Amino acid sequence: MSSNLTFKVGGVHMDEHKGLSESSPIQRLPEPKVVYIPMSQHIGAPCTPTVQKGDRVLMGQTVGTSDAFISSDVHASVSGTVLEIKKMYTADGRFCDCVVIENDGMNEAQTPNPISNYDSLPVDDFVDFTKKMGLVGMGGAGFPLHAKLKGQVPLDECIINGAECEPYLTCDHRIMLEKTAEILEGLKIFANFYNPNVSYMAIEENKPDAIKRMNEVIAATPRFKNLKVVSCQTKYPQGDSKRLSEAVVGRIVPQNGVTNDVGVFLTNVGTTLAFYEAVVEGKSSYERVITVSGAGIKEPKNLLVKVGTPVQDIIDFAGGLNDNAVEIVCGGPMTGKSVFDMQSPITKTTSGLLALSAEEMQLEDESPCIRCSRCVDHCPAHINPTTINSAILKEDVEYCAELHADQCMECGICSFVCPAKRTLAPSVKLAKREIKMQAMKAKN
């Protein structure tokens, strides 16, 4: 087994805080009374509702769709009645139409639509199916899976991302332990498309039980003989797709590129489980496992949650907040977004809800840059955050572009390592957004 794999430029080793929830088996959250199904749960065009007030819907039924290629259908996560369609914020801060469904508690599901002969079909037969089943990247970015299945160049390497490098998050770890065979069957189907000789399950070395479990199931299943577990160094952001492509198969993604551009199909372990459930069980994507953790939560857990469930319901089931909680974060602490409305719903891309204390947030006043270069030394994108910070504060967007601010992967390392506690990551994100806005204006 290949081990200690990693990328070469930047990265950081940090406290993992995974012990709070990594031993907690997945529990199903009790049925929410009302769900709010967002029409935008992915990168790309938002969906248009296909239902209206008063309609009865079944669990798994399509409630939103779009003709745009970079989009993905959304589905009801409960059976019940549509109360209304209204605009609201999601837990990760999107503002979009949401289909509000009152749960009738019957869990009456739409007839499953599996693909029985999936081993003998080409990848083209899965593209439209995957879009209609609502499969998107569940690691956080939400890139529609069907758009990854075929690239402009032939794809000849296949990697499943089980790194889960963000601190606190343990949901991927748990599904690798509890849904091992299902995930490997999903990888097997992908391997049929791209590399039937050897395809990879990549896991960080801080999850030795998951590595052991994956190897045991592969050894016991002749059908999986072409699948290989590789272990990666525990190092943030090992789970970024470009870093993992370099670590596992040595292929470096060019600027403004994606892993498909270097012939690598790479997707998250949760996405692979959802793909298995869609293809083999005929289940659309309407629920997922999330981690609820942090010093500010009373009972850290890993929970199977219906998409559209309000944050408050999830926090309540985890025992509620401790007095020291100062911030609720949707996602991991490095890339997540602050939750400002406890009624906002989770989406397919919500990997966790963290209740963090002031000590965990490390709230300190910003001071002048001391030119130590730590942000440059640790930046995986090989850019200069402190100079970009200075440029954007002067509103010099053109210079930010010259400094390749658009290549920022928004990992947050620059702020994390800065001894002056400068808010580098938000300023580089701002520079990246302004460069994009200027490019859009130039087109128009």
Query: Where do runs of H (alpha helix) occur along 195-318?
Result: 208-220, 241-249, 269-281, 311-317
Residue 398, helix vs strand vs coil: helix
Among 113, 80, 101, which residue's Cα sits nearest to residue 38?
101
Among 291, 293, 316, 319, which residue's Cα sits nearest to residue 305?
291
Distance CA 127, CA 195 (A): 18
Binding residues: 369, 372, 375, 379, 408, 411, 414, 418
**Contact by Cβ (8 Å): 169, 333:** no
Residue 334 DSSP one-character state: T
**Contact by Cβ (8 Å): 402, 366:** no
Give the sign of the dihedral formed by CA 149, CA 150, CA 156, CA 157.
Answer: negative
Residue type, 270: G
**Contact by Cβ (8 Å): 157, 264:** yes
Interacting residues of 398 by C-beta distance below 8 A, sequence separation 6+: none
Distance CA 253, CA 181 (A): 30
Binding residues for [4Fe-4S] cluster: 369, 372, 375, 379, 408, 411, 414, 418
Residue 64, helix vs strand vs coil: strand
Residue 222 DSSP one-character state: G
Backbone angles phi, psi at 89, to 5 degrees: -85, 145
Distance CA 277, CA 273 (A): 6
